[in-house]
Every structure is written in C-alpha cells, then in structure tokens.
Amino acid sequence: MMRKDRMGWVFDRVFPRLQPSVSAQEQEKDDKELNDCRNRAEALDIDDLEKSIASIEVLVEGEDDRRKGIDTRLSTIVGLGSIAGSIVIGATLAQPATLAGHGLAMRFLLGVLIFYITLQLCLAVFWAIRGLNRRNYSALTPGDFLPDLEIPIRRRLRDRLATLVELLQHNRSTNNEKMGAMAVAHQASQNFIVGLGCLSLVGVVMFLIGPSGTAAAVGQSRGPAGSPPMVQAPVRHVPIPAGSGPAIAPGQPRSGTSVPVAAPSPVSKKR
C-alpha cells in the first residue's frame, strides 16, 4: 500500500490525473440516505417537517454557493494559465540564440524543463476548462411550491422534503466532479511553479558558467552578427622577370624569384 501511494505521488508530479470514482457505490450511498430521510419523515409532525425543510433548503443554498466558488477558482486558473502560456512560448522561441554557446548536456536539460512546464501548464488549463463545462443541475419547479389541496399537508411536506434531499444529492455530486477537476488543475499548477523554479535555477547556472570554450572560439572567428565568417585569402606568388624593373635594393628579391602577393578579396557588388 505504501509503495502504491508513493508511485501515485510520483505520477502526480509528472502527469496529474483524476482519481477514479466508484459511481455505483456513490449512487448506493445516496439511495440509502434518501430512504433513511423518508423513513424518518414518516414519524415527524408538521412543525418538525417544516423545520427540516428549512434546514435542507439552507444546505441546498450552500451547495449553490460552493458551485460559484469552484467556478471562480477554475476561471482564475484559466486566466493565469493563459498569461503564463504566452510567457513560456516567448521564452521558448528565444532559446535557440541563448543555447548556441552551451554544451549538449545543458541544452538537453533546459529542453526537458521547458517541455515539463509546458505540459503542466496545458494540463492545468485543460482540467480547469473541463471543470467549467456545462453540467446538469437540478432545480425546484413551480409545482414544488404550489400545493395540491387534494393531498394532505403532512404528505405534501414529506414529498417536498424528499425532493429537496434529491436536489441536494444531485448538486453535491456535480460539485464533487468539479472539485475533482479543480484538484487536478491545482496539482498541475503546483508542478508548473516547481518546474519554473528549476528552469530559473538552470538559467542562472548557464549565465554564470558562460559558453563553452569551443563555442567561444567559433564565435570569435565570425564577423558581426549576420555577416559570413572571415576566411583568410590565399597567397599566390608572382614571378619577376630577369632584367626588368628598377635596380634591386638590398633586402629585395632578385630577378627570377617570386613575390608572395595576397589574392584580392571578393568585393560585393552594390545593386
């Protein structure tokens, strides 16, 4: 059991997922609760039934407030995720120029971290949007408030009590599904924050160690940004005919020898 919990904890840090729910057991639990309320309502008088109805109505309103709070949090996650996504995309597009002077191991580590935080961000926004999806909520109808005079008041109160209990159970189950989606989105957001911190740490280390020696040498051999690399022009020897030219001064080459002359560098034609 401990090993299973540990593996689940590790898996949630990489790919958070929704915990499986047993719908059959939950439905059985709700049916048992409804039958228990019906049996208890049989022994209540009119005053007690009215008090019980008022108490359950408060619980129904509480579930409605709970739904609004969950939707607000999910909307906040979607908004923050959109802002963070634009920042991550911009930073990812700027990485090739930054990584040019670093080794393969450092570039691989940075790529893994960028992929990790992007994955967590996508999961957070996905589950937040899924939690905001349209749900089927139960609500009271006008017929629940307009009494049928042919039915005794005690029976009407018992029926209304049972209706409120069913309404409470359905809305509570729907809110629990939204809570599950919000829990996954919250876990993915936490993973995103941790990955972003690790990415910042790696960026600081890359800034401190600077580019590798080979990359720095290659960068020095190149010209300004956007210009082709500087290549040394080849040297050719021009022969000097014998007896031609002015007198040979000391230190100058004699006749029949050749003088090394650098080939002219290509000049770009202006259009």
Tokens found for residue 252: 């100058």
- Paired tokens of 161: 């009590």
Residue with tokens 């992007």: 118
Q: Residue 96: what pLDDT?
A: 64
**pTM higher than 0.85:** no
pLDDT digits (tens, 9 = 90+) for 138-189: 777 777 777 777 788 888 899 899 999 999 999 999 999 999 999 999 999 9
Q: Which residues pair with 238 in a beta bridge?
A: 259
- Burial label for 51, CB within 10 Å (0-12, 13-18, 19+), is exposed
The separation between CA 80 and the C-alpha centre of its own chain, rounded to angstroms, equals: 10
CA-nearest of 206, 199, 207 to 84 is 199
The first and second tokens of residue 10, run together, are 């590790």
% residues pLDDT > 70 (the chain): 70
Cα distance between residue 59 and residue 205, in whole Å: 55
pLDDT confidence tier of residue 214, bands split at 50, 70 and 90: very low
Residue 265 has pLDDT above 70, yes or no: no
Question: How much is the pLDDT for 70?
Answer: 93
pLDDT above 50 for 216: no
Give me the pLDDT at residue 215, please.
45
